Structure 1
Amino acid sequence: MTAYAIGHIRPETMNEDILRYIEEIQSTMDPFEGRFLVHGSKVEVLEGSFPGDLVIIAFPDIERARAWYASPAYQEILPLRGRHIPGDILLVDGVPAGYDATKTAAALRESAGL
């Protein structure tokens, strides 16, 4: 099942460390079949507030997402971002093919006795 690395980041001033991080991140993802789904796109906020930017990287499964984040190659460049771009980084499983939210709602109703 596809898994995602999601970053809600709040970039500060562009500098050499950040540029180097952006230049090198792809090569750290390639061995784990990671690919950007969202990177540098403008966020359109429909409800609430969302300060910052959103990055979404897809991996074939959660194990490869974890392995990428823990890899020596990524850990080597991580401080380049971490020193200059505060944010929240998450790993999350996607839903399986054919997922139907109505089935989830039915199961939630049953478990809650509603």
Structure 2
Amino acid sequence: MTAYAIGLLHPQPPLHEDVFVYMERIQATMDPFGGRFITHGKTPEVHEGTFDGAVVILEFPDMDRARGWYDSPAYQEIIPMRADHIPSVIMLVDGVGADHDSAALGAALRAAQRG
């Protein structure tokens, strides 16, 4: 099942030179794990709550490859280039299949909650 790496970034302009190097090197760290950008540094249109940063979403074929990428020596080496200069929240999350049914999930959760 597809998995995603999501970054909520709070850039502090101007960007540090390290961030440019990070951007130049990240794709090569993703390639061995089948990763690709879904969105990269886009400012979201916020409808609820507040968020003043940018969003990055990476897609991987599955959670094992998403974890493999994040934990890889190649990616671990470049993390400080971003993390030292851009406050961020980084997370990995499983996607849902094409047959996902929100109504069925809601009903199952309701039933489970009732015991």
Alignment RMSD? 1.2
Partner of 2:83: 82
Question: Is residue 96 of structure 2 the alignment partner of residue 95 of structure 1?
Answer: yes
Q: Aligned partners of 1:38, 1:28: CA distance in 2, in Å?
A: 17
- Spell out structure 1 runs of 4+ moving beyond 2 A: none
Q: Aligned partners of 2:60, 2:89: CA distance in 1, in Å?
A: 18
Alignment of 1:34-49 (within 5 A): 34-49=35-50
Gaps spanning 5+ residues in structure 1: where? none
Alignment of 1:13-28 (within 5 A): 13-28=14-29
Q: Aligned partners of 1:79, 1:94: CA distance in 2, in Å?
A: 27
- Alignment deviations for residues 23-75 of structure 1 (CA, whole Å, 9 cap, x no partner): 10000000000000010222101111112111100000000000001111111
Q: Aligned partners of 1:86, 1:112: CA distance in 2, in Å?
A: 37
Gaps spanning 5+ residues in structure 2: where? none
Partner of 1:32: 33
Q: Aligned partners of 2:11, 2:31: CA distance in 1, in Å?
A: 24
**TM-score, normalization by structure 1:** 0.95
Q: Which amino acid aligns with 2:16?
A: N
Question: Is residue 13 of structure 2 the alignment partner of residue 3 of structure 1?
Answer: no
Say how many residue pairs are matched: 114
Q: Aligned partners of 2:88, 2:17: CA distance in 1, in Å?
A: 19
Q: Aligned partners of 2:41, 2:77: CA distance in 1, in Å?
A: 22
**Percent identity over the alignment?**
56
Partner of 1:50: 51
How far residue 101 of structure 1 moved from its aligned partner, in angstroms, is: 0.2
**TM-score, normalization by structure 2:** 0.94
